[in-house]
Amino acid sequence: MNILILGYGKMGKIIAEIAEERGHTIAGKIDISNVNQLEKLDTDKIDVAIEFSQPEAAFDNLSWAINHQIPVVCGTTGWLDKKPLIEELTKSKNGAFFYASNYSIGVNMFFKVNQFLAKMMNDQPDYEASMEEIHHTEKKDAPSGTAITLAEGIINELDRVKQWSLKEESEGKEQNVTITAKRVDPAPGTHIVNYHSEIDDIEIKHTAHSRKGFALGAVLVAEWIKDKKGVLSMDDFLTF
């Protein structure tokens, strides 16, 4: 396949490396320094775009790909207030848009465990849910997209929880999942979900050791999405 990389930072570089290892060709590497090259690309020779840029660039990158009938796989977080607009554009253009807050297979298994535990907690009212996430200092958004997905999983399954907030914004909020976001180096990503009671704590945790798991997952999805249409997610891609 010919893959266009939209966002050629640390993740983009690892994605390109893994894609080439798997026999694919990189049709272009676009970042803030050469975004003007987008209009010079031969879009007929691009099979899929993988978008891992910055929050402020994601919407324009995705719109460009969808308008040019290029299936696009997105892992950028921090822009999701505009995600409904991209979904509508995808439908109107009969395109293909895939979003996940995290492409690691292990993290997506963790999402399922988180949902299962939250559902069990409906019968255990003495436990209070909270979360902690740790990322490198270059990550601009907080909480992470993965943390938001985890919080949404809790909210969807645990009836007594209705919202999430960052710890520094949580004072006075009830029915809330409090998220502590830390930025330290080096830290590819750690997410901890905790249920606290006076008697004990129950904790589940995922720690990434490198970015390769995220990058490989994105390439696997790009291989899968090539001939598909619609607004897609990890629930469509994974069978567990």
Q: What residue spans define the domains of the chain? A: 2-103+212-237, 105-207
Return the pLDDT at 239: 78
Return the pLDDT at 141: 87
Given the candidates 3.40.50.300, 1.10.4080.10, 3.30.360.10, 3.30.70.20, the CATH classification of the domain at 105-207 is 3.30.360.10
Q: How far is CA 151 from CA 20, 37, 49, 124, 156, in A?
A: 35, 38, 28, 18, 9
Residue pair 3/24 in contact by the 8 Å Cβ criterion:
yes
With 80 as the cut, is the pLDDT of residue 240 above it?
A: no
With 80 as the cut, is the pLDDT of residue 191 above it?
A: yes
Distance CA 15, CA 180 (A): 29
- For range 97-117, the mean pLDDT: 95
Q: Which of 29, 91, 136, 139 is an active site residue?
A: 139
Q: Which of 24, 68, 135, 191 is an active site residue?
A: 135
Whether 135 is a known active-site residue: answer yes
Whether 196 is a known active-site residue: answer no
CATH architecture observed for domain 2-103+212-237: 3-Layer(aba) Sandwich (3.40)
